[in-house]
Amino acid sequence: MLILHLFHYIGFTGAQIFNAFLVLLILKRAGKLFGAYRHVMLVFTFCSMLYSGVEIVTQPVLHMKGPMFVVYLDGTAFPESLGSFIACLHCGTFGFLISVLAAQFFYRYVALCRSNLLRFLDGNRIFLIFLPCIFIYASWFQLVRWGMSATIEKRFYLKFVREKVRSTEHSELFRDDLGGADSMTASFIAPLYWQIGENGEKIWRFPDVTSAMICTFIIMTLSSLIFFFALKIFFHMKSEKDHMSRTTLELNRQLFIMLTAQTIVPVVTMYIPVGLFIALPFFNIGLGSFVNYPSASMALYPCIEPLIAIYCIKDFRMVVIKLLPRCKTRVTETVRSVYSSKTVVQ
C-alpha cells in the first residue's frame, strides 16, 4: 500500500509540474507553429492535469473477489453518498481522457486529410470537437453509478468473502479486503457479475454486466477510431510528402510521432490493464499480486504524457536543452555560495 500510494504522489506531482511547463511552451512557442491546433493541445493538457487531480484525491486501490472487481477510494474518508459520487467521477474522468485523445486525432485527421472541413472549426467552433467527450464523460459516470455502485448486497458479499477466507486453514495468508477497510462503510465501486443461486446455478446480474460491457465497448470504439485516424494520417503524409514543403512535412511528422507515442503509452499503462481488470472477473480469474498494476500505471501516465510532447516537438525540446545549462550554472553558483558561507563561518 505504501509503494502504491508513492506512485500516486509521484504521478500527481510530476503531472502538475510537467503539464504546467508544457502549457507555458504551448502558449509561448506554439502560436505560429501549430495555429488552432494549440487549443486542442491545451485542452488535452488541462484534462491530464484534471485526471491527475482526481487520481490523488481518490488514490484508488484495486481488488478482485471472484466475479467482482473493486475500486476502493483510499485517499480520503468520504461520507457514503459523497464517496460513491467521487468514485463514479474518477471512472468518468478515465473515459473522458481517452475521448479527448481521440478528439486530438480527429482534428489532425481533418486538418490533413479533410482540410475543406476546417471552416466548420474556425475560431471558438474548434471546441465543438470536445462535445462528444463531455457526453462520454456523463455516460460513463451514469453507467458506473447505475451498474457498479456500492450496494448493501455487495458490501455483504465482500464481508462474507472475508469471513469465509478467515475460517480456512490458510487464514494467516489472508489480507483484509479493501486494504484493511471495512466493506460496510468504505467508499468503492464494484460490479458483481454473477451470483450462485440456491440450486448452484449461476445468476447473472444484468445492470452490472451491461454497464461493464458498455464501458468496455466505449474503450474499444475510441481505440479503433484513434487507430483509424492514425492510419489515414500516416498514408496521407506518405502520399503527399512530395507536395509539402520540407518545414510542413517535418512539423506534421513530429506531431504524428507525438500522437502515436501518446496513444501507445496509455494503451500499455491504462487501457489494456483496465480492460483485463474489467474482463477477468467474468471468468472468475484474478490478477494475483499484479492486481494494483493498473492503479499505479494510471497514476504515472499523466506524468509521462507531457514529457512525450516536450521530447517529440523539436521547438519544445530545444527550449529544454537551452534551459539545462542555465539550471546547471545556477545550481553550481548556489552550491559555491553555500560552501563559501560555511567557510567564512568557520
Q: What is the pLDDT of residues 246-294, one digit of tens each?
A: 777 788 888 888 878 887 888 888 888 888 888 888 888 877 777 888 8
List, for residues 322-334, the tens digit of each pLDDT value: 887 765 555 455 5
Residue 329 has a pLDDT of 59
> Among candidates 86, 88, 101, which has minimal Cα distance to 219?
101
Q: Of 216, 73, 76, 226, which Cα lies nearest the Cα of 149? A: 73
Contact (Cβ atoms closer than 8 angstroms) between residue 274 and residue 219: yes
User: Contact, 263 vs 308, CB < 8 A?
Assistant: no
The three-point CA angle 155-160-166 to 5° equals: 130
Band of the pLDDT at 170, cuts 50, 70, 90?
very low
Q: Using alpha carbons, select from 229, 197, 225, 194 the residue that is nearest to residue 212.
A: 194
Contact by Cβ (8 Å): 308, 265: yes
Asked if residue 50 lies in contact with residue 318, where contact means CB atoms within 8 angstroms, the answer is: no
Instruction: Report the alpha-carbon distance of residue 316 to residue 321 in Å, rounded.
Output: 9
CATH code for the part of the protein at 2-329? 1.20.1070.10
If pLDDT is split at 50, 70 and 90, which confidence band does 207 have? very high
Cell reading at 333 = 553558483
Q: Is the pLDDT of residue 100 over 60?
A: yes
Rounded-to-integer distance, Cα 180 and Cα 114, Å: 54
Q: Are 188 and 87 in contact (CB under 8 A)?
A: yes
Closest by Cα among 154, 145, 204 to 178: 154
Core vs surface per residue 177-198: b (16+ CB within 10 A) or e: bbbebebeebbbbbbbbbeeee
